Amino acid sequence: MSVELTKANLSDIESMQKLVIPEVEAGVILARSSDEIATNIRSYIIAREDGEIVGFCALHIHTPTLAEIRSLIVKESKRGMGIGQSLIDEAMQEAKVLGLKKVLTLTYKQSFFEKLGFIEIPKESIPEHKIWADCIKCKHFPICNEVSLIKTL
């Protein structure tokens, strides 16, 4: 298996949306419109295998010192092959280059992120604008079972 990591481009949006549909419908990933993805396209890292998008995530910057890993998805048939970890590693490297100090995530996959050095934090410590900008759009809001984790760079 040869997976290539690249930055997303606008022509990837349709394939990204198709890949994420099952997880959005299950309430595991927050739905994002194609316009929202386009606006934030520079945040996305794509994993491709033989030209096909098999995963992606975004590094979304909240402040000059804090970013968030969001929208992590790997095609179901490709899970367990290290693609998710590669995407996170790439995002963390980008965060370091940008001079960020911490990266947070909200996830149902706590153990996955803990294996990568993230530690659980209280949701109350997440920047308030994150809650109002993203969480309020979730079908689970305000009763959320996601876990907040953070990693210091």
Instruction: Tell me the pLDDT tens digit for each residue of 7-29.
Output: 999 999 999 999 999 998 888 88
- pTM over 0.85? The answer is yes
Per the prediction, the chain carries an average pLDDT of 90
The angle formed by the CA atoms of residues 126, 127 and 132, to the nearest 5 degrees, is 105
Tens digit of each residue's pLDDT (9 = 90 or more) over 54-96:
999 999 998 999 999 999 999 999 999 999 999 999 999 999 9
Burial class (CB in 10 A: 0-12, 13-18, 19+), 86: middle
Contact 71, 19 (CB under 8 A): no
